[in-house]
Structure 1
Amino acid sequence: MLGPSEIRSLAAALSIRPTKQWGQNFVHDPNTVRRIVKDAAVPSSQTVLEVGPGLGSLTLALLAAGHPVVAVEIDPVLAEQLPKTVRTHAPSHADSLAVVHADAMRLGREDLPRGIDEPAAIVANLPYNVAVPVILHLLAELPSVRSVLVMVQAEVADRLAAPPGSRTYGVPSAKAAFFGSVKRAGSVGRNVFWPAPNVDSGLVRMTRYDVAPWSIDEDHKRRVFAVIDAAFSQRRKTLRSALAGWAGSAANAETILRSAGIEPSERGEKLGVADFVRIAEAQTVVENPPSESG
């Protein structure tokens, strides 16, 4: 494991100065990374995708637990260094690591390394500034991923796991719930990072639906997400008003909502993801009614 002294020494040797641009806050507490790996509960030997491995603390813990790791790193210096760090600290696991130098927001299934099983889980200390879009992108792109355990800003963790009707429920909550169940999985203090962030962190667990209640193809996801974005773009307005631009007019929005079995006077913050799915499906039916035969 990499403790505080190892982290600082390695960063100094590489002339690494953590940047806000890439949201770099390196975990230096061995107990924290062991806890994350344990709480992730990924079956042994299953491949884990790690986004933003940084200097390698969590990577080493995942490898020690018997997981092949696909590490996606945007920083070219860190991407080049990670295999060397593993060869130094865990030489017996060096062949179980594959590093992809890429932006996780652009990663597709075709970018995964050959010769290693597709990832069954995502376990990561995610950069705070891109955490939500990265999670949503990877869940859409990698159907092999069945579970997620990520460390994010505490406020983001609250939003992702918020239920309908709560104060923090919004776009991230509804979009994450499109793929599966989402729960808070604990808190993480600031002192386990270097440099220490100005905010607290939290763990979020996501479990993909075994059988999705709705289609999750790209076109369907795009239509449902458009409804969610519109519903929360004017949070205090009724759905009839908030969806007017999306539907073409307030009258069209009301027709679609009633077709979906939802009161036009309701507000988006009260709806679950299943409701947004019904609205998207109702739009398709209302705008493309079946032709009459005969």
Structure 2
Amino acid sequence: MRALAERLGVRPTKKLGQNFVHDANTVRRIARLAGVGSDDVVLEVGPGLGSLTLALLPHAARVVAVEIDPVLAGALPGTVADRAPALVDRLTVLTEDALAVRAEELPVAPDLVVANLPYNVGVPVVLHLLAGLPSLRGGLVMIQSEVVDRLAASPGGREYGAPTAKLAWFAHARRAGPVPRTVFWPVPGVDSALLALERQPPPDAGGATRKEVFAVVDAAFGQRRKALRGALAGWAGSPSAAERRLRAAGVDPTDRAERLTIADFARIAASADRPSDART
């Protein structure tokens, strides 16, 4: 891996969150835990030097690799041709920012996302892909360990936050195991872990849109130390209006954001249109 990087003139950068996995057992483990099948199209974000790509290709019908670094994107087909020439036809490489990927730009609808995600954009990338690619039924991503704990948290704990609630709109998330620092080059200063995702239907929002539900989530967690009556005062217009909407949604106004499920937030968003909101 170091020799390949030297030949390409690549130096891993913090700006792009480049920590490349060099351990063969780790990438094989990821491919296995992701449950990639022979008919699956896998979307890989940030393939880097190609170690995970090479582990995915034998199991998938196709791998669509999205790489923001043009040098790495240009080198990946050659790496696969050298290491697994019989599988090179299964690979498609797009030089693109994962946060800008749209379904209509992809050559085929992906079934799974499997990726070693940069720490600095891991959460936005996961949410963007699940929102924009409805064909995804789930996947397995590797990100910072404490972020995995937050995204897989249940309501009621300190780790549960706005990203947790938003992710629950799209998918069930669970921690799928740790990843030691030593499998990366360069070695990162934080621990990593695997997050397994399984697509699930969004909650009944009673006519409210996802954007409206997420606005309630952001408002509630923006002042998470406050009771919901106060935290949602700005969103609703006043503390009393917030209390009316919370009661209409069947939510205790003295509760706090971290105790609510995404279904609770959906009911609050929908309560804005209920007749009870007009009471004085």
TM-score interval, smaller chain: over 0.9
1:205-224 alignment, distance < 5 Å: 205-209=196-200, 211-214=201-204, 220-224=209-213
Deviations 1:143-163 (A, max 9, x none): 000012000000100000000
How far does residue 111 in structure 1 lie from its aligned partner after superposition?
Answer: 1.2
Find out whether 1:35 has 2:29 as its counterpart.
yes
Q: Of 144, 156, 164, which residue of structure 1 is paired with 2:155? A: 164
Please name the residue that 1:3 is paired with.
none
Q: Of 44, 47, 66, which residue of structure 2 is paired with 1:50? A: 44
Please name the residue that 1:21 is paired with.
15
Deviations 1:53-107 (A, max 9, x none): 0000000100022341010110111111111111111111111111111111111
User: Which residue type is aligned with residue 198 of structure 1?
Assistant: G
Counterpart secondary structure, 2:194: strand
Asked if the contact 2:206–2:270 (Cα under 8 Å) also holds between the matched residues in 1, the reply is: no
Please name the residue that 1:263 is paired with.
252
Counterpart secondary structure, 1:19: coil
Distance in 2 (CA, whole Å) between partners of 1:62 and 1:171 is 32
1:1-294 alignment, distance < 5 Å: 7-113=1-107, 117-209=108-200, 211-214=201-204, 220-285=209-274
Normalising by structure 2, we get a TM-score of: 0.95
How far does residue 140 in structure 1 lie from its aligned partner after superposition?
Answer: 0.4
The sequence identity of aligned pairs, in percent, is 58
Asked if the contact 1:149–1:204 (Cα under 8 Å) also holds between the matched residues in 2, the reply is: yes
Distance in 2 (CA, whole Å) between partners of 1:129 and 1:286 is 43
Q: What is the number of equivalent residue pairs in this alignment?
A: 278
Distance in 2 (CA, whole Å) between partners of 1:215 and 1:280 is 7
User: Which residue type is aligned with residue 274 of structure 1?
Assistant: A
Gaps of 5+ in 1: 1-6, 290-294
Asked if the contact 1:139–1:145 (Cα under 8 Å) also holds between the matched residues in 2, the reply is: yes
How far does residue 287 in structure 1 lie from its aligned partner after superposition?
Answer: 9.1
Asked if the contact 2:161–2:258 (Cα under 8 Å) also holds between the matched residues in 1, the reply is: yes
Deviations 1:99-132 (A, max 9, x none): 111111111111102xxx4110000000000000
Distance in 2 (CA, whole Å) between partners of 1:11 and 1:25 is 12
How far does residue 43 in structure 1 lie from its aligned partner after superposition?
Answer: 2.1
Judged with a 3 Å threshold, the aligned counterparts in structure 2 of structure 1 residues 216 and 65 are, in CA distance, closer, same or farther, namely: farther
User: Which residue type is aligned with residue 20 of structure 2?
Assistant: F
Asked if the contact 1:70–1:100 (Cα under 8 Å) also holds between the matched residues in 2, the reply is: yes
Asked if the contact 1:256–1:286 (Cα under 8 Å) also holds between the matched residues in 2, the reply is: no
**Deviating runs (4+, > 6 A) in structure 1?**
none
Distance in 1 (CA, whole Å) between partners of 2:111 and 2:206 is 18
How far does residue 235 in structure 1 lie from its aligned partner after superposition?
Answer: 1.2
Distance in 1 (CA, whole Å) between partners of 2:210 and 2:227 is 23
Asked if the contact 1:157–1:204 (Cα under 8 Å) also holds between the matched residues in 2, the reply is: yes
User: Which residue type is aligned with residue 196 of structure 2?
Assistant: R
Gaps of 5+ in 2: none
Distance in 2 (CA, whole Å) between partners of 1:267 and 1:288 is 21
